[in-house]
Amino acid sequence: MPILQQILFVALFIIAIWLFTKKAGEIKRNIFLGRPENRNDNPSKRWKNVLLLALGQKKMFKNPLVALFHLIIYGGFIIINIEVLEILLDGILGTHRLFLPMLGNYYAFIINVFESLAVLVILVCVIFLSRRNIIKLKRFANKDLDGWPQSDANYILFIEIVLMSLFLLMNATDQAIQLNGSEHYKATGTLFFSSFISPYFSSMPLTSLIVFERTCWWFHIVGIFSFLNYLPYSKHLHIVLAFPNAYYARLNAIGQLNNMPSVQNEVLYAMQPELAPTNANTPEKFGAKDVFDLSWKNLMDAYSCTECGRCTTACPANITGKLLSPRKIMMATRDRLEEVGLNINQNKAFVDDGKSLIQNYISIEELRACTTCNACVEECPVSISPLDIIMELRRALIMEDSNAPQEWNSTFSNIENNFAPWKFAPDDRANWINEMPNN
């Protein structure tokens, strides 16, 4: 019997890892559908960003209480993984609490730390669920999240509560079995939180207890395998991508827009034709209409977004009732990219579906509302720049489609002909000098 369980466990483990790797490969492929962009310079500064922004969650601490809550779930998640290591080894080797003999008295201490974290994680998940569903915090009770995104967020919190509860129940029944004296279940010492639940199981017969304990153990670990495979379809993917996203975050001043060397050169050759190469290539497309025209980092941004809505809450356009929501820009980019990925899965290579990011997913009205104030970029805890995407789409609107509001066309022609956005005579530019005092 035990060997069958081991085989089943190993099979489930391999399937879980295989499915996850396959989907992760698809996501990686989708990200690299984007334009190449070199983000490998200055590694020391990049590692510092990983430490501060991803590991240290610096931006979260703009609101220390929420940061603490988030840190509990995040810390709980990482630290409890050490316990998952033991569970994995037990499952493969057919052992029970493999680390107990090695760690001796320290074992109970360590498990007690895990249990404390589990209890804290449950508490915080309950707080987070109530923020979404009872208090209805403005950035969560928002139409951006209607449908799947709202359910996704609730599922994640619910699954975490279930996983943590199973862990505590597993320990509680284990202690009840220990009292009954079973050779396989060695004394762990008191496990503080689960020992409160343990007495409720004391009247159960030993065989039922063992079945109960095993059931919790199996559901817990299968739950973790399932959760792993849920990640790629969820906003929860940020727990993985926040790290590379911090590493590859732009290091330039936040006010600097990406240069377009192709346009720079075209202007240069127009002004100084002698510099133009004889075999000048026809320039690439200008700006972005679809995900293929964005850079790979823009696409990784989309997969890293945890839909927290800090960007949208800080966006002056959104605050004043405009259609623009930086969070929605990121969600739309991911949705389109997933659609493109599915298209590739089905057809081996992308087959034109007559759709594009602009128009089908993001409207012109949204793009036109942006003040380029960078509040969204400043807010984002996982180093996303919604502004980068907005700007690339704006560039395509103007330079590919000549699609500008009439006022902007006048502004452009004024800048071009009068060297100022308004229609004043360039010769009058310094007229203010004549009005200087004592003149």
Partner 1 sequence: MKVNTMAEMLANGQTPEVLFWVGCAGSFDQRAQKITKAFATILNKVGINYAILGKEEACTGDPARRAGNEFLFQMMAYQNIQILNGYGIKKIITTCPHCFNTFKNEYPELGGSYEVIHHTSFLQQLIDEGKIKLKEGGEFKGKKIVYHDSCYLGRSNNIYEAPRKVLEALDAELVEMKRCKSNGLCCGAGGAQMFKEDEPGNKRINTERTDEALATGAEFIASACPFCNTMMTDGVKNREKETEVAVLDIAEMIAASME
- Nearer to partner 1 (CB atom), residue 220 or residue 328: 328
Query: Could you give the string, one character per residue 209-228, with x where binding to partner 1 holds by CB under 8 A and - elsewhere?
Result: --------------------
- Nearer to partner 1 (CB atom), residue 351 or residue 433: 433
Query: Could you give the string, one character per residue 59-88, with x where binding to partner 1 holds by CB under 8 A and - elsewhere?
Result: ---x--------------------------
- Nearer to partner 1 (CB atom), residue 353 or residue 378: 378
SS (H, E, C) 11-37: HHHHHHHHHHHHHHHHHHHHHCCCECC
The DSSP line for 152-212 is HHHHHHHHHHHHHHHHHHHHHHHHHHHHH--TTS------HHHHHHGGGGTTS-HHHHHHH
Q: Rounded to the nearest whole angstrom, what is the least distance from the CB of residue 325 to partner 1 in the complex?
A: 12
Q: Rounded to the nearest whole angstrom, what is the least distance from the CB of residue 269 to partner 1 in the complex?
A: 11
- Nearer to partner 1 (CB atom), residue 183 or residue 416: 416
Among the listed residues 252, 278, 279, 346, the single contact to partner 1 using CB under 8 A? 252
Q: Rounded to the nearest whole angstrom, what is the least distance from the CB of residue 323 to partner 1 in the complex?
A: 7
- Nearer to partner 1 (CB atom), residue 240 or residue 260: 260
- 378 near 314, Cβ under 8 Å? yes
- 243 near 50, Cβ under 8 Å? yes
- Nearer to partner 1 (CB atom), residue 157 or residue 382: 382
Among the listed residues 4, 65, 275, 433, the single contact to partner 1 using CB under 8 A? 433
Q: How many residues bind partner 1 (CB under 8 A)?
A: 70
- Nearer to partner 1 (CB atom), residue 41 or residue 435: 435
Q: Is 351 in the site for partner 1 (CB under 8 A)?
A: no
Query: Could you give the string, one character per residue 254-293, with x where binding to partner 1 holds by CB under 8 A and - elsewhere?
Result: xxxx-xx--xx-xxx--x--------------xx------
What does the chain come to in residues?
439
The DSSP line for 287-311 is S-SSGGGSBHHHHHHHHH-----HH
The DSSP line for 392-432 is HHHHHHHHTT----HHHHHHHHHHHHHSSSS---GGGTTGG
- Nearer to partner 1 (CB atom), residue 228 or residue 391: 391
Q: What is d(CA 305, CA 381) in angstroms, rounded to the nearest whole number?
A: 9
- Nearer to partner 1 (CB atom), residue 252 or residue 279: 252
Q: Rounded to the nearest whole angstrom, what is the least distance from the CB of residue 255 to partner 1 in the complex?
A: 3
CA neighbor of 259 nearest in space, from 32, 34, 37: 37
What element of type H or E holds 73? helix 64-93
Using alpha carbons only, what angle is made at residue 174 by residues 169 and 180, rounded to the nearest 5 degrees? 135
Q: CB under 8 A: which stretch of 158-166, 206-214, 326-334, 422-430 binds partner 1?
A: 422-430
Backbone angles phi, psi at 362, to 5 degrees: -125, 125
- Return the residues of window 365-404 that contact partner 1 according to CB under 8 A: 365, 368-375, 377-378, 391, 394-399, 404
The DSSP line for 317-371 is HHHTT-S--HHHHHHHHHHHHHHHHHHHHHHSS----S--IIIIIB-HHHHHT--
Residues 6+ positions from 323 with CB-CB distance below 8 Å:
363, 365, 366, 369
Residue 228, both tokens: 């792993």
Query: Could you give the string, one character per residue 298-337, with x where binding to partner 1 holds by CB under 8 A and - elsewhere?
Result: ----------------x-xx-xxxxxx-------------
Q: Which positions touch partner 1 (CB under 8 A)?
A: 62, 252-257, 259-260, 263-264, 266-268, 271, 286-287, 314, 316-317, 319-324, 365, 368-375, 377-378, 391, 394-399, 404-405, 407-408, 410-412, 415-416, 419-422, 424, 426-430, 432-433, 435-439
